[in-house]
Amino acid sequence: MPHRPFRFGVNMVEPSPRTQWRAKCRTAEQLGYDVILVPDHLGMAAPFPAVVAAAEATERPRVGTFVLNAGFWNPTLLAREVATTDLLTDGRLELGLGTGYVRAEHDAAGLPWGSPGERVDHLRHTVETLDRHFAEAGFVPKPGQTPRPPLLIGGNGEKMLRLTAEHADIAAFTGARSVPGHTGGKMLHLTAEEMDERVASYRRHAAGRPAPAELNLLIQLVDITDDRRAKGREVADFVPHLTVDAALDVPILLMGTVRQIADQLRAQRERYGFSYITVLEPYFEVFGPVIEELRGE
């Protein structure tokens, strides 16, 4: 099967005044990012105004949410937000949805948390409600894209993978799993072999799709260094469940020279199918040379 070309997104996690927000979005555009994204957490910028501002500041990149916490949103009101935002961004919106994974945020907002199954069920209800509204002749406003903006769903659990396979245009893998009982959303990195298993499970659920989804990976660390193994030792000391070799193979950790990181991403696209790579804001400028190395591949 031929590979999809690489796409690159940046998840802007730091709230900023208008001038600073516009400047960093323009920097992302100049560095070659294809998508400017905004998360949905308490303590960060409200996603939809930030997405509209990102589109206003730039010309080429698409914009999106990465990802909305479905538990924060009434599905019908969310349909209005999505449609309006897609119109105001001239059809550049990509809609990312997830269940949420930080119980403390729900507690702070006075919102129910629910079991993992209940949260996935609410996400499914949200997706189906959005699709129903956008198909209704009388629902206004309609999004600029037909039938709706591309849908990204992020998660690793079995029910989430099934939902993603059924509905998402973009399947996003976090590359980490939640620590049971931790209300602050602490995560443990998946090893390369654990990622093999998660992607294989997704592909089983997606076997009947009419067209394959784009596969996304959220990167947690980018470190440009001439001593990749030394950085691996540092990570292994910080993440005790990993050996140095295992740390160097963790898909969401990019360590090494620009060429080594580019080679790692090529190898991961071959192994897992990840062609859409998202990095966190603290690393978006240092990652720029890697985009240049991989541009057009």
From first to last of the 297 residues of the chain, give the pLDDT tens digit.
678 999 999 999 999 999 999 999 999 999 999 999 999 999 999 999 999 999 999 999 999 999 999 999 999 999 999 999 999 999 999 999 999 989 999 999 999 999 999 999 999 999 999 999 999 999 999 999 999 999 999 888 999 999 999 999 999 998 776 545 554 545 578 999 999 999 999 999 999 999 999 999 999 999 999 999 999 999 988 877 789 999 999 999 999 999 999 999 999 999 999 999 999 999 999 999 999 999 999
Q: Which two tokens stand for residue 251?
A: 């898909």
Cβ atoms 33, 62 nearer than 8 A: no
SS3 at position 18: helix
Q: How is residue 212 annotated by DSSP? A: P
CA nearest neighbour of 148 among 84, 239, 226, 228: 84
Angstrom distance (rounded) from CA 221 to CA 255: 8
- How would you label 57-90 residue by residue, b for 16+ Cβ within 10 Å and e otherwise? bbeebbbbbbbbbbbbbebeebbebbbbbbbbbe
Give the dihedral sign, CA 101/107/110/113.
positive
Domains of the chain, earliest start first: 7-220+257-294 (3.20.20.30)
Length of the chain (residues): 297
Q: What is the CA radius of gyration of the chain?
A: 19
What tokens appear for 220 in the block? 């947690």
- pLDDT of res. 126: 98
DSSP 275: E
Q: Beta partners for 216?
A: 172, 276
Name the amino acid, one letter, at 260.
Answer: Q
> Strand pairing partners for 218?
278
Instruction: At 150, list the tokens.
Output: 């591309």
3 state SS of 90 = coil
Helix (H) or strand (E) holding 171: strand 170-173
Alpha carbons within 13 A on the beta-carbon side of 223: 17
Full-prediction pTM beyond 0.85? yes
pLDDT score at 242:
86
